[in-house]
Each structure stands twice: as structure tokens, then as C-alpha cells.
């Protein structure tokens, strides 16, 4: 990773935006993704999950095609307004060790304990982005997005990255479905908890 003050500034801007409902988090996330893409050559995707009043809101941004994620990092984003807003930023990369410098930089910039940043170097097989004429790129993007969002929901509930990946893998195996479909089931379960009885 190339250390970059633009990256630290974009992360600080995103974190500050969590406290302001008028801030366009999509725009702040886009700025962060641009900085991350410049800093981490093998970045595969970025997912942000914000939990407000026990409701998870996630957005996932695929970055590179044809790269399979082999490592991840989960960064808790602390709101200044209180613990009722829980947020996590999950990054996936295709090169082992891609996040070593990032963990140190983020810990220093956010004045946080590096132990609160969860790095997983043993990811289960994931959905790669296809870049061949026969592949359905839109489906691949949707699958990757569902997996990233489900990981964000599980992380927001307190799971580690490894536990979240294990949960998705076990659910996929148990139900004899793909990882993406297991992720969609996790997202459906999360939404079911939020739906009032009619």
C-alpha cells in the first residue's frame, strides 16, 4: 500500500459524515474509494455498513474485475454522536498483506487501537469478477455486492471477519446454495427482523 494523506483525509471525511444526516455518504464513500484505489493496487471491493436504530444500511462498491479477494480488513467507524450509530468499512483485496500499512495508518489517524481493526488473511472462496465474454458481469457484481453487504451486517452485529465468512460458508454448504445466495438469505433475515407484524 502506498501511504496517502488523501486516503486518511477521505476516511476522516466519511467518518465525520456519519454524524450528519444531510451529508451524502455515497459521495464521501466514492471519494474514499478513489483514494483507496490509488493506495491499494489489488483492491477488489469496498463496503460500508451503517447501523442506525438497529437497522443496517449497506452500500458495496466493486473496484476491480478479474481479481479474487484473498484478504480483508474490517474497520469500525466510530460516530461522535454515540454508540447508537455503529458503522463498519470492509475492504477486500487480491494480494496477501495488502492492508498491513493501512491498519497502521488508520489506527494512527483515528487514534484507535489496531486490535479493533479486524484483518482476515484466510478468506473462503469468493465470487470472482468475470471479465470474459461468456461471463455475466452484472450478476457477478450483484453477487459480490450481496456478499459484501451480508459481511457488513454480520460485522455490525459483532462478528469478526473470520466468523462472518465462516457463517456465510456454513450457511451456503448447509442449504446447498452459493455464497451469494447465502449472503442474500442473511440480508433477508436482517430485513425480516426490521419488518413490523402486519
Which tens digits make up the pLDDT trace of 33-44?
A: 888 888 888 888
Q: Please report, in angstroms and rounded to a whole number, the separation of the first and last CA atoms in the chain.
A: 50
Ordered by start, the domain boundaries in the chain are 5-194
Q: What is the pLDDT of residue 106?
A: 81
pLDDT tens, position by position, 10-33: 777 777 777 677 777 778 888 888
DSSP 53: T
What's the rounded Cα separation, in Å, for the pair 26 and 29? 5
CA separation for the pair 110, 121 (Å, rounded) = 23
3-state secondary structure of 19: coil
Phi, psi of 30 (to 5 degrees): -60, -40
Which residues pair with residue 7 across a beta bridge?
none
Angle value at C-alpha 45, between 104 and 42, nearest 5 degrees: 65
Query: In the prediction, which pLDDT does 162 show?
Result: 85
Tens-digit pLDDT string for the chain (198 aa): 444 677 767 777 777 777 677 777 778 888 888 888 888 888 888 888 887 666 777 777 888 877 778 888 888 887 666 555 578 888 888 888 888 888 888 887 777 787 878 877 656 555 454 454 445 556 777 788 888 888 888 888 888 888 888 999 999 999 999 989 999 998 888 776 554 544
Q: Say which residues have a Cβ less than 8 Å from residue 90's Cβ, sequence separation at least 6.
A: 46, 47, 48, 49, 72, 73, 74, 75, 148, 151, 152, 155, 161
Amino acid at each position: 500500500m502506498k501511504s496517502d494523506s488523501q486516503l486518511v483525509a477521505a476516511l476522516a471525511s466519511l467518518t465525520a459524515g456519519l454524524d450528519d444526516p444531510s451529508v451524502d455518504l455515497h459521495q464521501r464513500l466514492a471519494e474514499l474509494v478513489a483514494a483507496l484505489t490509488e493506495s491499494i493496487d489489488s483492491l477488489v471491493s469496498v463496503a460500508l455498513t451503517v447501523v442506525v436504530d438497529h437497522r443496517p444500511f449497506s452500500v458495496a462498491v466493486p473496484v476491480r474485475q478479474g481479481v479474487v479477494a484473498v484478504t480483508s480488513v474490517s474497520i469500525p467507524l466510530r460516530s461522535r454522536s454515540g454508540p447508537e450509530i455503529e458503522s463498519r468499512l470492509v475492504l477486500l483485496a487480491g494480494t496477501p498483506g495488502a492492508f498491513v500499512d493501512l491498519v497502521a495508518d488508520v489506527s494512527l489517524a483515528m487514534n484507535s487501537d489496531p486490535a479493533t481493526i479486524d484483518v482476515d488473511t484466510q478468506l473462503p472462496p469468493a465470487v470472482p469478477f468475470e471479465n470474459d465474454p461468456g461471463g455475466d458481469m452484472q450478476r457477478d457484481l450483484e453477487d459480490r455486492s450481496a456478499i459484501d453487504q451480508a459481511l457488513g451486517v454480520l460485522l455490525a452485529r459483532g462478528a469478526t471477519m473470520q466468523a462472518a465468512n465462516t457463517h456465510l460458508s456454513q450457511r451456503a454448504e448447509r442449504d446447498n446454495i452459493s455464497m451469494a445466495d447465502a449472503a442474500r438469505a442473511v440480508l433477508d433475515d436482517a430485513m425480516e427482523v426490521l419488518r413490523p407484524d402486519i
